[in-house]
Amino acid sequence: MPRELLAVVRKRVEEVNPKVNALPTLCFERAERAAAELESRPVLKRGRFAGLPWPIKDSYDVAGVRTTYGSLAYADHIAETSDYAVEAIEAAGGIVYAKSNTPEFEAGANTFNEVFGRTLNPFDPTRSAGGSSGGAAVAVATGMAFLAQGSDFACSLRYPAAFCNVVGLRPTAGLVPQGPNALPFQVLSVVGPIARSVADAAFALDGMVRFDARDPLTRSRDGGSYLTAALAPRRPRRAAFSIDLGIAKVDPEVRAIVTRAVERLASEGLRVEEAHPDLSGADRAFRPLRAFQFAALRRDALARVRSKLKPEVVWNIEEGLKLTAADLAAAEEERVRLRQSMLAFLETRCTVITPTAPVAPFPVEQRYVDEIDGHKLSTYLDWLVLGYAATVCGCPAISIPCGRTASGLPIGLQIVGRPYGETELLQTAAWCEAVLGSALSAPVDPVTLA
């Protein structure tokens, strides 16, 4: 029954959350009311999730619940209405019981903020959990959640999944409703699930996808079940593998682990070609468009409470405010070229495989990765390029576990597919997951320091 399941989750949260700080805001009273209402319905009328508890990322509104966006500027904000994605989850029978931690305005792939502090990696509490859906990934990895909602702009579902040894799926824009916001036509930031297996991620996606007329990008479903696809693993006919996409710096240990994983896939019959599309313009397209989005959505906060915003957020908003129409036109022109390059490449390869993140989980006190293999990086975005190269092309991408470092830290494998090709992507990911055998078979108990 939903209330019994909620009680189990509550007990686990009480035991684990103080060790990792993944779920800073709890709303179990609201959840219990929802569970009781759900139990009053006939079983077949309870929706796909049928009372499954869900945490929601703290950058997404839940009606009546404190929602801070990880920012001191909104530290006391209580949402009046829920985001469309939250409504979709609840309409499918999901029960919201917590908000998961996120960096301020989702800026940066290390989950910390001045409201709630740092979220810690359950495999090593001195290490980052990734971000910006870091709280969601830690909750799933530690058994405080069966599934979790997150979102992905540059890499925010995939990097924390890689750092926490779980699965993070960035779907094609328009599958899961997003909003309300001031940029309803944007396609860079999307909502998706984090889970402990590919099948669970597919199950989650089945319930999150729906048409919502308030989001101009959503469309009616074509039919079929993503879970059915994930339960029928299929080796792709051909795959491309690139350790760096020709544009990233990658840590040597990550290179070795991911290369071994791909060799293992090849030993099971996968035809692998070392190649990648021309993505050399990823920065030229993504960075201006990201800056524009920050300026469009957050310039009011900059004008009102600049002193409360972290430096990376201030920088990104100001970069957006400097843009000219010519800058945006050039970025859009480059984005078109990148997408065409990727689509042409995928005509003869079913998928592109890369490392998810270029480094293993790094010290949690470090705001972002500023050096890889002796190469100094200039901004907090530089180390995210393996993620946003897929974002800017409009492709779905999934991260699955593929191995551990010598010190036991998780490493992820990113699989990129064709736009709206989630069915094929999930079948491929499920096959890779089965071959590699690196997925969590059970929740982990957080490592604690003596």
| 310 tagged catalytic | no
Q: Give me the residue label for tokens 């544009």.
A: 247
| 151 tagged catalytic | no
Q: How far apart are CA 123 and CA 130, in angstroms?
A: 12
* Sign of the dihedral through C-alpha 288, 306, 98, 369: positive
Active-site residue, from 100, 132, 151, 189: 132
Active-site residue, from 151, 156, 197, 438: 156
Q: How far apart are CA 187 and CA 241, in angstroms?
A: 26
| 307 tagged catalytic | no
Question: What torsion do the CA atoms of 216, 222, 225, 231 make, to the nearest 10 degrees?
Answer: -110
The distance from CA 446 to its chain's CA centroid, rounded to whole angstroms, is 21
Residue 292, sorted as left (phi over 0), alpha (psi -120 to 50) or beta, turns out to be: alpha
Within 10 Å of residue 362's Cβ, how many Cβ atoms? Answer: 23
Q: How far apart are CA 309 and CA 302, in angstroms?
A: 7
Alpha-carbon radius of gyration of the chain = 20
Q: Please count the CA atoms within 13 angstroms of the CA of 235 that sit on its side-chain side.
A: 15
Tell me the pairing of strands 95-100 and 53-57. parallel
The two structure tokens encoding residue 176: 């899961």
Positions marked active-site: 57, 132, 156
